[in-house]
Amino acid sequence: MTDGLLLPPEHPRSLVYFGSPEAAVPPLLALVEAGFEIPLVVSMPDRRRGRRTPPEATAVKAAATQLGIPVSEEVNDSLTVQADCGVVVAYGRLIKQNLLDELPMINLHFSLLPRWRGAAPVERAILAGDSETGVCVMALEPELDTGPIYRRQRIKISDEVTARQLTEKLAKLGAEELVAAIGEGLKQPLPQSGPVTVAAKIHRSDLKLSWELSAAELNRIVRVGGAWTTIGSSLLKIHKARVVDGSGEVGVLAHDLVGTGKGLLQLLTVQPEGKPRMEAQSWINGARLEANSRLGA
């Protein structure tokens, strides 16, 4: 529904850009290259990556600074510049109604809405085993990812693509669709239709490898990034793995193969606690593991 929703003009030329992570950089660059005026970028505050490191700018802030575009951390600053509308790409916060009442906005979202509304659409699509995902350019509403859609495009999800790789593909595709949507004119958008699913934020508990799951399910967790298990009392991160036909005792490591609820998971790249990532075979050779060592016990 668009009743009461302040829609942007069909052909906006001046845009305030809201974005924060690396995935939001390609759309910003594409808009600049297409000749749109961007008088201001709004991004999340600088943050520390570690306790002893200085605060770092977001990827979008760094890119905007290189382009010579002013950057603010305050959303209301978007009303201090002359702009036709706002463009939101993975900004990191909901935009409130009072701001939308004064500055209409469009949003680029990395899913086929209404599937995977929320913070982690790419990761949730992989975890669910979806065969496809995509991007949507939509009018922004104060509710989470509910706005009507101007333009969408689909993309296949391969069995081996990681969340990082898929996000990079969607960022490039989304940049193209965003420029095309604005260029062809933001005419009456179509309401979302279909079953709604919510892409909740990924937590560490989501990334724990429960070996009773199938090898295919476990490999999806690995592909999301940050997958972990334990060996004895030590943490073991799994950065790359592969599904292999066969069977074995659940959770037991035989050479580089781990038994699962269905099939085997071959460990390719791992990171033992306190050490850098390495080839799994090098870790196994150096760790002097006992025969039939069990993971996650």
Mean pLDDT per block of 10 residues along the chain (297 residues) reads 78 97 98 98 89 88 98 97 97 95 97 98 98 98 96 97 98 98 94 97 97 98 98 96 96 95 98 96 88 86
Give 67's DSSP letter: H
The SS3 assignment for 249 reads coil
The SS3 assignment for 231 reads strand
- At 176, give phi and psi (nearest 5°): -65, -45
Contact 15, 35 (CB under 8 A): no
Give the model's pLDDT for residue 13: 96
Give the model's pLDDT for residue 1: 46
* Residue whose token pair is 């086929």: 112
Give the C-alpha distances (Å, rounded to integers) separating 122 from 24, 72, 126, 263.
14, 27, 6, 25
Element containing residue 244 per DSSP (H, E): strand 234-244
Query: What residue ranges of the chain are covered by domains with CATH 3.10.25.10?
Result: 204-294
Count of CB atoms within 10 A of residue 65's CB? 14
Give the model's pLDDT for residue 208: 98
Give the model's pLDDT for residue 278: 97
Give the C-alpha distances (Å, rounded to integers) separating 64 from 43, 61, 91, 131, 173.
10, 5, 14, 35, 20
- Which CATH number fits the domain 14-199, given the four candidates 1.10.10.10, 3.40.50.170, 2.40.160.20, 3.60.20.10? 3.40.50.170
Bridge partners, 101 (sequence order): none
Query: What residue ranges of the chain are covered by domains with CATH 3.40.50.170?
Result: 14-199
Domain covering 204-294 assigned CATH 3.20.20.10 in the classification: no
* Residue whose token pair is 């937590």: 203
Give the model's pLDDT for residue 164: 98
Give the model's pLDDT for residue 297: 73
